[in-house]
């Protein structure tokens, strides 16, 4: 068989060199780990290289061990990647072949030292089943390894799809601290990175600076308020950042690296939880950012002169959307790139002259954008985009309209790029989120049980009307899709194949034959109905606005959904068999759900806390739950006389509780405490038809690290 550019013999020889090197001399367990995964791959068994298998075969765990509780494999995989990196920077720098362990899995990759890296094919991650005991065989480093893992034609096809990729980038970790390190910003001399981080205890977000050759950062801010969006001033001695200064207002402050008092450069109307980026002119006299003209108005770009206080608006975003933000000035100072948000996850990137003028679209994907950076030559934008997938990837977009090129692996969630002005290295934040679905007995007779799990996002669980099936959202294949499973989580099957856009929060029809969901294949969000047994989705909304979070009426003849077609989020009801949609709420509404008797409509809001109720036929609105936060608009459900909802406690050991409100008596009881944090800003909770169980999407692992990406 054609072995491609790397043969099994070359890989075997490199394994022996690694094992005999001083880097791995006292690392017997890491040697065993590496030898096992390479052996399995070359023997054609790479598809079984899951965390639980490695734990059993390499680290002698029992077949019943739980990788979520015992992270031995993830910890040792990180050590192995670090050891390999050290080896190839030192004794292995002249090796003709390199063996790598890409992040996000346990399948090794092999490359010739002078050739672009060719990763082994990505294997979709499916829910892990219990591992049957196997006869254990010792991993001997002198074993003869056979078989092939690389297919040269796949690499040629990959490169042919990306004609701009003459060279593939190399990547390394820069920070691996606990919690979220995000929004990296290179210093003007390219020797340091500023970033926002919650610290070792993840208790308050501050600004930190770390030298590229240092192992730990230095904290620059230490107030009780959260500081975000760091941006260097041109002198390299000062950093600007945002801090909440009041409801809906942000102060832009400047701190010196040498310490001392901070000074305020400006104040803007913007959200503290999602502050705009900051970008300075080369002389430090102009600040480019975004703000609102009034509460609830869309964001627009503005240039501020901190010395005189003058500010000039630069864009006029369309009404009804979230507006323009993430302003980034080009190195030559002539252009501003920015993100325009039509809806929460429907974005595109535009450029506009820095002095104001006509706007020009750079992307037309209507995909989620989380960060923009200019290359040093002013010819390209590095954009974090969800185009072609549900995870953020870095793409190089030439501003002259040529085809874009993907820079990061599809399995790496890459956001907030920053370009080193000295050598062009890209820093970015890589977020990881592993949420799984737990079944919780509301009667308290059984402990919580994880029934839906993967290494990525699982959310939006809902029981079928007969209680025998569950629908849920997952991006375990790399794309957001709708899945269905048995009520115990077994036999999970993908129901949709949208292939990229954000898709989710499905609800069952009363007869259990259909599911209503929202997706964004054309950019804006629309409502679709798909047969529960499988089949093509049917689109039922066609407005240019966004329609989300659908649910069926109790008689199955209509679908409720939230829409922003009026400029604010309101609830509409649309007949399924002819007729125009009817606006139900006037003062705001989100996540609608009709009671099983069809008499009442319940809903949350995405701007004000609480759960609300009104007559389904129309009438006055009342708030029935005060405490449901906006972040948990998907954290409640109905079952007969019961309204079940989540409340946040603020405690680290039990961050949330499940509350059960009797709608007939008005009495509330605490049914359970969660040991993990519930997933926020998503479909979080579902209730069984008999009110006995709740399904809750809980976060097992979450955080973000900063990576450095350079092109060889």
- Per-residue pLDDT of 251-291, as tens digits, reads 999 999 988 889 999 999 998 888 999 999 999 999 999 99
Instruction: Tell me what the mean pLDDT of segment 188-194 comes to.
Output: 96
Q: Which residues, in sequence order, are bridge partners of residue 398? A: 380
Residue with the larger pLDDT of the pair 478 and 366: 366
Q: How far apart are CA 470 and CA 353, in angstroms?
A: 51
Look at residues 24, 27, 56 and name the one whose alpha carbon lies nearest to residue 40.
56
3-state secondary structure of 20: helix
Band of residue 215 on the pLDDT scale cut at 50, 70, 90: confident
User: Is the pLDDT confidence value at 572 over 60?
Assistant: yes
Residue with the larger pLDDT of the pair 494 and 113: 494
Q: Which of 138-152, 380-394, 494-508, 588-602 has the highest mean pLDDT?
A: 588-602
Sign of CA dihedral 359, 363, 366, 369: negative
pLDDT of residue 121: 36
Q: How far is CA 618 from CA 330, 347, 556, 573, 599, in A?
A: 53, 35, 18, 11, 10
User: Is the pLDDT confidence value at 135 over 60?
Assistant: no
Judged by average pLDDT, the poorest of 141-155, 258-272, 332-346, 401-415 is: 141-155
What burial class does residue 506 get, using C-beta atoms within 10 Å of its C-beta: 0-12 exposed, 13-18 middle, 19+ buried?
A: buried
DSSP single-letter state for residue 191: S
Q: How far apart are CA 375 and CA 398, in angstroms?
A: 10
Band of residue 319 on the pLDDT scale cut at 50, 70, 90: confident
Judged by average pLDDT, the poorest of 26-30, 268-272, 510-514 is: 26-30
pLDDT of residue 476: 86
Q: How many CA atoms lie within 13 A of 484 on its CB side?
A: 21
Residue with the larger pLDDT of the pair 19 and 186: 186
pLDDT of residue 131: 36
Assess contact for 596 and 638: CB atoms under 8 A: yes
Q: Which of 170-174, 192-196, 271-275 has the highest mean pLDDT?
A: 192-196
Q: How far apart are CA 315 and CA 336, in angstroms?
A: 11
Q: How far apart are CA 414 and CA 197, in angstroms?
A: 17
Q: Give counts: helices (H), strands (E), the chain.
A: 5, 49
Q: Which residues, in sequence order, are bridge partners of residue 339? A: 325, 349
User: Is the pLDDT confidence value at 162 over 50?
Assistant: no
3-state secondary structure of 16: helix
Percent of the chain with pLDDT over 70: 90
pLDDT of residue 156: 25
pLDDT of residue 383: 97
Instruction: Tell me what the mean pLDDT of segment 512-531 comes to.
Output: 93
Band of residue 148 on the pLDDT scale cut at 50, 70, 90: very low
Look at residues 420, 434, 433, 428 and name the one whose alpha carbon lies nearest to residue 172.
428
pLDDT of residue 132: 38
3-state secondary structure of 46: helix
Q: How far apart are CA 185 and CA 220, in angstroms?
A: 14
Instruction: Tell me what the mean pLDDT of segment 98-110 comes to.
Output: 89
Q: Which of 10-19, 27-36, 128-137, 589-598 has the highest mean pLDDT?
A: 589-598
Look at residues 418, 412, 363, 416 and name the one whose alpha carbon lies nearest to residue 390.
412
Assess contact for 387 and 363: CB atoms under 8 A: yes
User: Is the pLDDT confidence value at 374 over 90?
Assistant: yes
SS3 string of 237-254? CEEEEEEEEECCEEEEEE
pTM exceeding 0.75: no
Assess contact for 486 and 461: CB atoms under 8 A: no
pLDDT mean across residues, the chain: 87
Q: Which residues, in sequence order, are bridge partners of residue 644? A: 637, 660
Tokens of 582: 């009817």
Tokens of 578: 């002819």
Domains and CATH numbers, the chain: 8-126+138-157 (no CATH), 162-424 (2.120.10.30), 434-642+683-700 (2.120.10.30)
Beta strands in 481-557 (DSSP E): 481-486, 493-494, 504-508, 514-522, 524-531, 538-539, 547-552
Q: At what angle do helices 28-42 and 72-89 cross, to 10 degrees?
A: 90
Tokens of 372: 């923009």
Instruction: Tell me what the mean pLDDT of segment 559-565 comes to.
Output: 96
pLDDT of residue 115: 42
pLDDT of residue 329: 97
User: Is the pLDDT confidence value at 431 over 80?
Assistant: yes
Q: How far apart are CA 604 and CA 607, in angstroms?
A: 9
Judged by average pLDDT, the poorest of 117-126, 205-214, 229-238, 268-277 is: 117-126
Tokens of 175: 């920070």
Residue owning tokens 């999602």:
274
In the chain, % helix, strand, coil (3-state, to 5) comes to 10, 40, 50
Assess contact for 198 and 204: CB atoms under 8 A: yes
Look at residues 162, 253, 246, 255 and name the one whose alpha carbon lies nearest to residue 209.
255
Residue with the larger pLDDT of the pair 337 and 123: 337
pLDDT of residue 114: 54
Q: How far is CA 463 from CA 22, 489, 695, in A?
A: 56, 11, 8
pLDDT of residue 153: 28
Band of residue 4 on the pLDDT scale cut at 50, 70, 90: low
pLDDT of residue 711: 63
Q: How far apart are CA 445 and CA 473, in angstroms?
A: 28
């Amino acid at each position: 068989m054609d072995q491609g550019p790397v043969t099994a013999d070359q890989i075997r020889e490199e394994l022996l060199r690694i094992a005999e090197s001083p880097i791995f001399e006292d690392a017997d367990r890491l040697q065993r780990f590496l030898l096992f995964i390479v052996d399995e791959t070359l023997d054609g068994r790479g598809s079984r290289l899951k965390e639980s298998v490695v734990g059993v075969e390499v680290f002698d765990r029992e077949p019943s061990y739980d990788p979520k509780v015992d992270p031995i494999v993830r910890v040792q995989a990180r050590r192995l990647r670090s050891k390999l990196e050290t080896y190839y920077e030192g004794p292995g720098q002249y090796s003709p072949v390199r063996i790598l362990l890409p992040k996000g899995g346990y399948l090794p990759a092999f490359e010739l030292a002078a050739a672009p890296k060719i990763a082994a094919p990505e294997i979709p991650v499916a829910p892990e089943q219990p591992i049957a005991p196997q006869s254990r065989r010792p991993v001997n480093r002198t074993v003869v390894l056979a078989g092939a893992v690389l297919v040269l034609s796949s690499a040629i096809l990959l490169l042919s799809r990306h004609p701009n990729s003459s060279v593939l980038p190399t990547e390394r970790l820069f920070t691996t601290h606990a919690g979220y390190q995000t929004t990296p910003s290179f210093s003007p001399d390219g020797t340091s990175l500023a970033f926002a981080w919650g610290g070792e205890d993840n208790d308050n977000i501050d600004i930190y600076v770390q030298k590229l050759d240092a192992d730990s950062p230095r904290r620059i801010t230490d107030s009780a308020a959260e500081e975000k969006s760091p941006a260097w001033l041109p002198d390299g001695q000062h950093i600007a950042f945002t801090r909440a200064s009041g409801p809906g207002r942000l102060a832009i402050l400047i701190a010196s690296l040498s310490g001392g008092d901070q000074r305020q450069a400006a104040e803007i109307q913007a959200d503290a939880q999602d502050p705009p980026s900051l970008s300075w002119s080369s002389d430090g006299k102009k600040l480019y950012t975004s703000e609102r003209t009034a509460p609830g108005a869309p964001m627009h770009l503005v240039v501020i002169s901190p010395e005189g206080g003058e500010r000039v608006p630069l864009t006029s975003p369309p009404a009804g959307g979230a507006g323009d933000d993430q302003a980034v000035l080009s190195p030559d100072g002539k252009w501003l790139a920015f993100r325009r948000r039509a809806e929460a996850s429907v974005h595109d990137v535009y450029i506009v002259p820095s002095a104001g003028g006509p706007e020009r679209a750079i992307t037309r994907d209507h995909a989620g954008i989380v960060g923009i950076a200019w290359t040093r030559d002013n010819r390209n934008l590095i954009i974090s985009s969800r185009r072609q997938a549900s995870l953020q990837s870095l793409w190089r977009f030439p501003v002259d309209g040529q085809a874009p090129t993907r820079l990061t692996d599809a399995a790496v969630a890459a956001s907030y790029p920053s370009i080193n002005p000295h050598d062009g290295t890209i820093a970015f934040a890589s977020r990881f989120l592993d949420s799984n679905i737990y079944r919780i007995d509301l009667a308290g007779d059984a402990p919580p049980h994880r029934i839906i799990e993967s290494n990525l996002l699982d959310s939006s669980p809902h029981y079928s009307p007969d209680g025998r099936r569950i629908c849920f959202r997952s991006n375990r294949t790399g794309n957001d899709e709708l899945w269905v499973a048995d009520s115990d989580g077994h036999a999970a099957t993908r129901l949709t194949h949208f292939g990229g856009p954000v898709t989710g929060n499905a609800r069952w029809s009363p007869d259990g034959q259909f599911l209503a969901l929202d997706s964004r294949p054309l950019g804006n969000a629309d409502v679709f109905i798909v047969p529960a047994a499988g089949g093509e989705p049917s689109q039922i909304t066609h407005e240019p606005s966004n329609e989300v979070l659908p649910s069926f009426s109790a008689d199955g003849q209509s679908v409720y959904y939230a829409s922003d077609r009026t400029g604010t989020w309101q609830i509409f009801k649309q007949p399924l068999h002819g007729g125009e949609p009817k606006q139900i709420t006037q003062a705001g509404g989100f996540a609608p759900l009709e009671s099983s008797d069809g008499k009442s409509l319940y809903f949350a809001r995405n701007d004000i806390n609480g759960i609300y109720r009104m007559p389904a036929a129309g009438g006055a609105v009342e708030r029935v739950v005060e405490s449901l936060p906006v972040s948990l608009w998907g954290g409640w459900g109905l079952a007969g006389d019961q309204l079940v909802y989540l409340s946040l406690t603020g405690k680290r050991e039990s961050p949330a509780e499940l509350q059960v409100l009797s709608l007939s008596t008005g009495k509330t009881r605490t049914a359970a405490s969660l040991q993990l944090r519930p997933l926020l800003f998503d479909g979080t909770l579902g209730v069984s038809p008999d009110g006995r169980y709740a399904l809750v999407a809980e976060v097992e692992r979450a955080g973000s690290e900063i990576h450095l990406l350079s092109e060889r």
